[in-house]
Chains A and B, each alone.
Chain A
Amino acid sequence: MTEPGALVGIVLISHSDALAREAVALAVQIAGADVRVAAAGGTDDGGLGTSVDKVSSAVEAVDQGAGVVLIPDLGSSVLTARLLEEPGSVVIADVPFVEGAIAAAVAAGMGATLQGVLDAAEDARTYRKL
């Protein structure tokens, strides 16, 4: 059951704990402190890699009932995200990590639906820097 006002959650999954955390900080700075964005980077012992336990705790932490978008960087991050996919509630955005995270966080902060957040993240593919 989705509670009124529930926001879509976002989990940034990176091989690197520091990269995931800093991407969250950047997204929150731009999208506002109310957005539910969590970092799931690195292995359980802090090395480069992915931890399914970190990702599933992050999903639980940001899930308010409106769904969660997973944004992985590459390799095992993608495979780990795929293990946790649940159609209609936990979905993967196949997008550039930083730009996708920011676009998704902004859309989620404005109260977009799960599909709306996914679409916003995918739009990030088309952003030009020059």
Chain B
Amino acid sequence: MDVQFFTAWIEEIARAVADGRDHLTRLDAAIGDADHGSNLDRGFTAVLAALAATPPETPGAVLTLTGTTLIRKVGGASGPLYGTAFRRMGAALGQGDADVTLAGLAAALDEALAGVRKLGGATEGDKTMVDALGPATRALAEAADKGMDAEEALDAARDAAEEGARATIPLQARKGRASYLGERSVGHEDPGAASTALMFRALRAVAGR
């Protein structure tokens, strides 16, 4: 997976966020402040502009620029959280321009997960993006260990993220804005877990090209 692959991933996320904007906002309207779709759309629109203005030359640089732009432009909690996730991935991939292996990607996602958990203080089961990011990261690491090819491995990661997001529906939120709602948060999919699943769908889609 080279710099073109990671650039294509981010572009695919931007496209999927634009398409899924209203769906994400509806999820957020149920248990949050109804801005998740529009915030992420604004953020990734800014990311596309930043990538076009100064095209990064390494996979790590693509992800770092993505993260930095999200932190500055999103305006909601997803800015610092996704911004930290992409920046930590970028730092983990380093400055080299070599192709990233599945194991390397899994290790970078593990760094992203650690960064998100540290910043937001959430653990799995709190009804947050961590409920999708945690299982997807583990699934990718296992797939890489078993020597699966990229498409199979990213299938597994996507499936784990989607399952993790669906599993937030019966949970009561313990972190984030939804936690102010207490039991009222039960019965709704967490918007952050849903957008994380979207990003793993985008990753799989790009690998299949």
When distances are taken between beta carbons in the complex, the residues of chain B under 8 Å from A82 are 80, 119
Closest partner residue, chain A, to B33 (CB atom): A48
Task: Write the nearest CB–CB distance from B113 to chain A, whole angstroms.
Answer: 16
The verdict on A75 contacting B71 (CB below 8 Å), with A48-B33, A82-B119 known, is no
Residue B80 contacts which of A43, A48, A80 (CB distance < 8 angstroms)?
A80
B79 is contacted by which of A47, A48, A52 (Cβ under 8 Å)? A52
Total number of A-B contacts with CB less than 8 angstroms? 48
Interface string of A18-61 (1 = CB under 8 A from B): 00000000000000000000000001100111111100000000
Smallest beta-carbon distance B76→chain A, Å: 5
B76 touches A50 (CB 8 A): yes
> In the complex the two chains form, what is the Cα distance from A24 to B69 in whole Å?
29
Task: Say which size band chain B's interface belongs to.
Answer: 20 to 34
User: Which residues in B have their C-beta under 8 angstroms from that of A83?
Assistant: 71, 80, 83-84, 119
Interface size class of A (residues with CB under 8 A): 10 to 19
Most buried by A among B35, B78, B80, B177: B80
Q: Are A52 and B72 in contact (CB under 8 A)?
A: yes
Partner of B35, one of A49, A52, A53, A74: A49
Q: Indicate if B81 sits at the interface (CB-CB under 8 A).
A: yes
Q: Which residues of B contact A74 (CB under 8 A)?
A: 177, 180
Is the CB of B94 closer than 8 A to any CB of chain A?
A: no
**Are B80 and A76 in touch, CB under 8 angstroms?**
yes
Chain B residues in the interface with A (C-beta under 8 A): 33, 35, 39, 71-81, 83-84, 119-120, 176-177, 180
